[in-house]
Structure 1
Amino acid sequence: MKQNGAHQQGRKYLVVVADDFGRTSSVTCAVAEAHDRGILKAASLMAGGDAFSEAVRVAHTRKGLSVGLHVTLCDGRAVLPPSRIPGLADRDGFFEKNPSLAWVHYMKPGLLSQIVEEVDAQFSSLERAGIRPTHVDGHHHIHMHPLIFEVVCRMAWQRGVRWIRLTKESLSMVIRFRSEERGALPFAEWAVLGVLGLYNRRIARKYGMRSPYYLYGLSGMGGIDEEYLLRMLKHMRSPLSELFTHPDEGTVQGRKEREALTSIRVRTLMESRGITPVGYGGLYGEDTSPSCEERW
């Protein structure tokens, strides 16, 4: 890690992100609370979310919150009218709800041009709302799809976005941090996303995109709480890592995640271990080049 302003050698930096920003009012409220009272420094915004306008207002009144695009091509609503993307959305404008079916569906030929149009429209929605995205990732990891990842990288690069989530974990992290309620699913995700991660890493390099050294939150989805964060922070070794979460005032699990993000115990442990929570906006220099170099 380069020493640049607040970035000091010897310290660790944890990018703390909330996904699904703008999906509902309850998610948006939880994101605001976790940022105002906790360690949350970034949020990934759903351009087609029911609470998109509310999330935009929250973002504009919180300059310390880095906002990126949460590319949505499943389990959500499209930005474009259905007539423009008949292969992606139903007549009511909704994508396939089941992520697994959506992944298979997007392997069909002839859909790429519609995917390009919709992803471009999602980026443009943020820009029209006055938000310059600092990063990009995907709802249900859809951006990792082999036919979608390069589309996302290219459009992100054209807009000056330099940080993308490579959704992959080491096997040791899956074993240590997986949510018991998810059974063997974390191992299946590790296998599939691990292979895609190797493939997509080359594409990211091609476009000059960067990702943090390590990612936390994948195998722990559905079980992230205060204890999870305390264990994770003790495990953290790398200079730069990302933790992605799903705070939501409308669900039991979502409230647990918001409570974890605002936990005094979590904040105290981070301080004692020299870990600084940051958003992706803090990883750009004045010339918009990342001031924190990623290592593959």
Structure 2
Amino acid sequence: MLVVTNVDDLGLHPAVRRAVDLLAKAGVVTSSTLLANGPDLSESVLLQDTHPSLGLGAHLNLLRGKPISNPDHIPSLVDDDGLLFGNYSSLLMRYATGQIKLSEVEAEWSAQIEYLLDHKVRLTHFDSEKHIHAWPGLFGLAGKLARKYGVGWIRKPLEKNPASRLDKGMLRTRFLQICLLGSRSFDTPRTADCVWGIADQKDKLDPILFEKYINIYRPDVIEIVCHPGYPDAGDGPLPSDFGPMRVEAQWKEEFNSLSQKGWLKIFEKIGAKPVNYGQLDPRTGEFK
């Protein structure tokens, strides 16, 4: 079994970069995805040289901050101030009512990918802010861009949970399952068999719960989705133009879990090899 432990939101804030640095050094985190428009991007991309075994991908973003594209070229994606809308519910409503143009989504995501490439990022995979690339029509678009830019892997945010589970975590995973129902599978880019960490966050991001999940579903390749942070008193706040964010509330608990709860021992126990997507052959899904 191969397990990719991916930290989302790299580039958002120094606390995320610090967490990735420490957890990669410990061997627990193997992967992270970068926000091209994140204020900490320039410092964050240096981690791929500090940690050669750390894979870096693109965290495609339609939700937060200033777009990489000229706002005048993507009017359906921005507000009157030229910023991405910053509110998930309002963006979803605009998308569901046909107010978002796919051509503009493609233009903005392409600009983000090319911006990361211009920063010499060796992209291993794609995912997205709030898993928006799972929305109907967008998963195929993300796959198209992966093929265009030679990226072999993409997150398919499919988390398997029993029907008897009734909580907010279950609702998140069910919504994404419904979104993905009409999405076709493709040979390239490849996806992991499933993910874990969408339903179980904060104090539930626990290796014992992960072990139980693995024992039920037994995937060959699985991605752990997580959002740790390690803030410092001098860091400053989250960027105001990104809109309200709850991720800061996850930082401490998820960092403490990943650094203190014996994840590597659990991986060894269940026969899981920590890897990043760049170490996997997208044709076979096997370690290169």
**Partner of residue 211, structure 1:** 191
**1:38 and 1:263 in contact (8 A); partners too:** no
How is 1:248-267 mapped onto 2 (pairs within 5 angstroms)? Answer: 248-250=229-231, 251=248, 253-263=250-260, 265-267=262-264
Q: Which amino acid is 1:74 matched to?
A: L
**2:85 and 2:91 in contact (8 A); partners too:** yes
**Partner of residue 45, structure 2:** 56
Q: Structure 1 residue 97 and structure 2 residue 86: aligned?
A: yes
TM score, norm. by length of structure 1: 0.82
Structure 2 Cα separation of the partners of residues 37 and 273 of structure 1:
19
Q: Structure 1 residue 199 and structure 2 residue 182: aligned?
A: yes
Deviations 1:162-204 (A, max 9, x none): 21111122232883xxxxxxx843333233211222322x1x4
Structure 1 Cα separation of the partners of residues 11 and 164 of structure 2:
29
**Partner of residue 240, structure 1:** 221
10, 13, 31: which one aligns with 2:2: 13
Structure 2: unaligned runs, 5 residues or longer: 232-247
101, 112, 117: which one aligns with 2:102: 112
Moved over 6 A (4+): none
Q: Which amino acid is 1:281 matched to?
A: G
**Partner of residue 76, structure 1:** 65
**2:94 and 2:100 in contact (8 A); partners too:** no
Structure 1 Cα separation of the partners of residues 38 and 102 of structure 2:
23
Structure 2 Cα separation of the partners of residues 246 and 117 of structure 1:
27
Structure 1: unaligned runs, 5 residues or longer: 1-11, 176-182
**Alpha carbon RMSD of aligned pairs, Å?**
2.1
Shift of 1:252: 5.3
How is 1:1-296 mapped onto 2 (pairs within 5 angstroms)? Answer: 12-107=1-96, 108-109=98-99, 111-172=101-162, 175=165, 184-200=167-183, 202=184, 204-205=185-186, 208-225=188-205, 228-236=206-214, 237-250=218-231, 251=248, 253-263=250-260, 265-284=262-281, 289-292=282-285
**1:27 and 1:247 in contact (8 A); partners too:** yes
Q: Which amino acid is 1:215 matched to?
A: V
User: What secondary structure, in the 3-state scheme, does the structure 2 residue paired with 1:193 have?
Assistant: helix
Structure 2 Cα separation of the partners of residues 166 and 66 of structure 1:
17
The 1:120/1:174 distance shift into structure 2, 3 A limit, reads: farther
**1:65 and 1:279 in contact (8 A); partners too:** yes
Structure 1 Cα separation of the partners of residues 229 and 73 of structure 2:
32
**1:18 and 1:42 in contact (8 A); partners too:** yes
